[in-house]
């Protein structure tokens, strides 16, 4: 079975891309660019490389539509992948090994080199069958999504070059799903990484000094962890809710102090917070301010990351791209499960500049292995995803 897949040109392209170790940090994107140039030539697409930040290329392949005045469709994916713990993998993580069940093992097989290749293979098929689409398609391959996209999509959407692409709608990554449903994401929670600094009276560790940093730290931790508990209860009380529907709070770091018998003058606690799309940002920040003032004097907070509130993409008749996507999915009898994305993707930057975007990776009946050891995608699921994109891309590009 695996040998049949090995001879499949689409699978071959996928494996070639997976074998490029574009792993964080310090990536040389040169091999990805070279690979994409070759694809553009073979398929007959124009290619442009933008460098908003040096050594971090943004590669855009373009297929002009019949009416170039219409807003275009952007098909986005990222070239980078997260680090690996090689000893915990059954096969080398950049080998693209196919086992006898047709599972393709590699870092990036789910997140998200599969989608980038599926876009290209779907377009190759459309061009070969002589199809012409109404709208222009731009297929973007961006850097650094796995470390926040700050030198990739976040900066790119603010450039004149991006504005010239005249994007009216975008598709980006989704997630695998172990059931037969296909998950689609129309919004993302806002990431607020918050550092709370507690200062207080220092002294000898044998005394009971008043107004210590530790007492204030305890108050702050209790407040945040009580909120976490409350959100856990909300999630557990309704089986229809998913993690993207609630605010998550996690204590990720505590630091400070000089040695074990000295009461420190400062302790800091860090929380990773993902705000549900229903949360009022001003009210939430005011609540943190209130907690800090209740904890005592000398308690302050700052944000390592603070995403603004971004409107979700509409899933109704006001969004013609959604209507086209949905009707193509219905025609293929795909069961869609619409959700808010639990983490962060480049879609948030696209939505932030007012462009509707959907997160979708056609990987049903597949365990969620993004960032995990032994990440794999079955070849038949990968190939079926190309069929799905042929229909979806045609539908949204002909709106």
CA atoms of 279 and 189, how far apart (whole Å): 9
What DSSP string describes 140-182? EEES-GGGTSTTTHHHHTTSHHHHHT-EEEEEE-----SSS-E
Helix axes 379-397, 113-128, angle to 10 degrees: 60
Helix axes 30-43, 113-128, angle to 10 degrees: 20
CA atoms of 330 and 332, how far apart (whole Å): 5
> Which of 111, 121, 145, 173 does the annotation list as catalytic?
145
Half-sphere exposure of residue 227: CA atoms within 13 angstroms, side-chain side: 21
The Cβ of residue 104 has, within 10 Å, a number of other Cβ atoms equal to: 26
Q: Give the total residue count for the chain.
A: 399
**Radius of gyration for the alpha carbons in the chain, expressed in angstroms and rounded:** 24
The yes-or-no answer on residue 280 being catalytic is no
The yes-or-no answer on residue 330 being catalytic is no
Residue 122 vs residues 54, 171, 372: alpha-carbon distances, Å: 31, 14, 28
End-to-end CA distance of the chain: 39
Tell me whether residue 208 is exposed, middle or buried, using C-beta atoms within 10 angstroms of its C-beta: 0 to 12, 13 to 18, 19 or more: exposed
CA dihedral 205, 211, 212, 216 (to 10 degrees): 150
- The secondary structure element, H or E, covering residue 255 is strand 248-256
The answer to whether the CB of 195 falls within 8 A of the CB of 251 is no
CA atoms of 103 and 176, how far apart (whole Å): 14
The Cβ of residue 398 has, within 10 Å, a number of other Cβ atoms equal to: 16
> Which of 80, 151, 154, 188 does the annotation list as catalytic?
80
The answer to whether the CB of 390 falls within 8 A of the CB of 328 is no
Catalytically annotated residues = 80, 145
């Amino acid at each position: 079975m695996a040998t049949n897949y090995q001879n499949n040109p689409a699978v071959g392209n996928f494996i070639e891309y997976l074998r490029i170790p574009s792993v964080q940090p310090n990536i040389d994107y040169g091999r990805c660019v070279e690979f994409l140039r070759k694809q553009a030539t073979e398929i007959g697409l124009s290619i442009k490389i933008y460098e908003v930040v040096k050594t971090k290329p943004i590669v855009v392949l373009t297929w002009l539509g019949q009416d170039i005045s219409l807003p275009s469709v952007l098909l986005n994916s990222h070239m980078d992948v997260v680090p690996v713990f090689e000893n915990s993998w059954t096969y080398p993580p950049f080998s693209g090994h196919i086992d006898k069940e047709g599972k393709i093992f590699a870092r990036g097989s789910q997140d998200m080199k599969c989608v980038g290749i599926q876009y290209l293979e779907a377009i190759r098929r459309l061009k070969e069958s002589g199809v012409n689409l109404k709208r222009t398609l731009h297929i973007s391959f961006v850097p650094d999504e796995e470390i926040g996209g700050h030198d990739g999509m976040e900066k790119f959407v603010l450039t004149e070059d991006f504005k010239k692409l005249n994007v009216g709608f975008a598709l980006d990554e989704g997630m695998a799903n172990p059931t037969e449903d296909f998950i689609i994401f129309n919004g993302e929670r806002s990431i607020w990484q918050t550092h709370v600094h507690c200062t207080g009276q220092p002294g000898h560790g044998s005394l009971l000094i008043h107004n210590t940093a530790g007492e204030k730290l305890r108050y702050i931790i209790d407040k945040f962890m009580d909120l976490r508990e409350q959100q856990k209860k909300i999630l557990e009380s309704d089986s229809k809710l998913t993690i993207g529907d609630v605010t998550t709070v996690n204590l990720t770091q505590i630091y400070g102090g000089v040695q074990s018998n000295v009461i420190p003058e400062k302790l800091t606690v860090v929380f990773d917070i993902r705000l549900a799309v229903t949360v009022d940002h001003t009210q939430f920040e005011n609540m943190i301010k209130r907690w800090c003032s209740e904890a005592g004097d000398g308690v302050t907070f700052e944000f390592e990351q603070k995403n603004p509130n971004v409107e979700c993409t509409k899933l109704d008749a006001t969004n013609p791209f959604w209507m086209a996507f949905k009707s193509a999915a219905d025609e293929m009898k795909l069961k869609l499960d619409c959700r808010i994305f639990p983490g962060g993707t480049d879609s948030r930057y696209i939505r932030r500049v007012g462009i509707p975007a959907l997160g979708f990776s056609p990987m049903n009946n597949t365990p969620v292995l993004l960032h995990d050891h032994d990440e794999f995608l079955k070849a038949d699921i990968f190939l079926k995803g190309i069929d799905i994109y042929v229909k979806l891309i045609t539908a949204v590009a002909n709106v």
